[in-house]
A and B are shown apart, each in its own frame.
Chain A
Amino acid sequence: EAQVTQNPRYLITVTGKKLTVTCSQNMNHEYMSWYRQDPGLGLRQIYYSMNVEVTDKGDVPEGYKVSRKEKRNFPLILESPSPNQTSLYFCASSGRLAGLRDTQYFGPGTRLTVL
């Protein structure tokens, strides 16, 4: 089954304690993104990756890091989380399919609370 998986689904942590949210897709997609969702703001793009070792900042990259060492994985790293990073996070992937334009597939979300 084609899917995007995220772990953990729920996480409560404290300010300053480094954490990683993993994202993996099994569709061989080149493109992957991270978003955060906050009430009244919709989803905002944090980082974007066009392929292995190629990443770019989205609209709200401050306080986040990403890496793309393998095509299927795109972890989101919070080196020193702060309470304003409490949010619902989504990973998404998309890819080129036989020359047709594809669309983004979203993971189930990770709800992060930073105390």
Chain B
Amino acid sequence: AQSVTQPDIHITVSEGASLELRCNYSYGATPYLFWYVQSPGQGLQLLLKYFSGDTLVQGIKGFEAEFKRSQSSFNLRKPSVHWSDAAEYFCAVGANYGQNFVFGPGTRLSVLP
């Protein structure tokens, strides 16, 4: 069965600093990988997704993620964090169109002024 781990429960960074959120997955076939963001009291917004092709994926809000098959990882990065990036971030893996979709436990990001 597929699974997703996000080793960091909570991360705090200063505004303007770089960010990397870690995600590791376990999946039998070629994975479809996603990063979602959830602001307090809000639903989930898709940041980016990887299905195939270029392993460096660009998303919205200046985020990018790199798929590394050898490490079973899909880490999310941003070069300069803004205060508005404070939220909870979820990595997910799944088959097509939501079938057997599995989310990680989430990483809460706090941003210091």
Contacts and interface: CB of A to CB of B under 8 A. Distances in A.
What's the interface size class on A, roughly? 20 to 34
Contact of B103 (A43, A95, A103, A108): A43
Interface string A52-80: 00001011000000000000000000000
Contacts of A95: 97
A33 B9 CA distance: 26
Interface in B35-67: 36, 42-46, 49, 51
Contact of B43 (A30, A32, A48, A90): A90
B43 A101 contact: no
B97 A40 contact: no
Contact of B99 (A43, A44, A50): A50
Given A103-B49, A106-B44, A107-B43, A48 B105 contact: no
Nearest to A56: B99
Contacts of B99: 31, 48, 50, 56
Interface in A10-38: 30-33, 35
A42 B101 contact: no
B103 A44 contact: yes
The listed residue with most B CB atoms (<10 A of its CB), out of A48, A56, A103, A106, is A103
B111 interface: no
A108 B43 contact: yes
B101 A104 contact: yes
A94 B43 contact: no
B100 interface: yes
B90 A92 contact: no
Interface string B88-113: 00101000111111111110000000
B95 to A, nearest CB: 10
Contacts of B46: 103-104
11 contacts: A40-B105, A42-B103, A43-B90, A45-B101, A56-B99, A58-B100, A58-B101, A59-B102, A96-B97, A106-B45, A109-B43
Given A35-B103, A48-B99, 4 more contacts: A42-B104, A43-B90, A102-B97, A107-B43
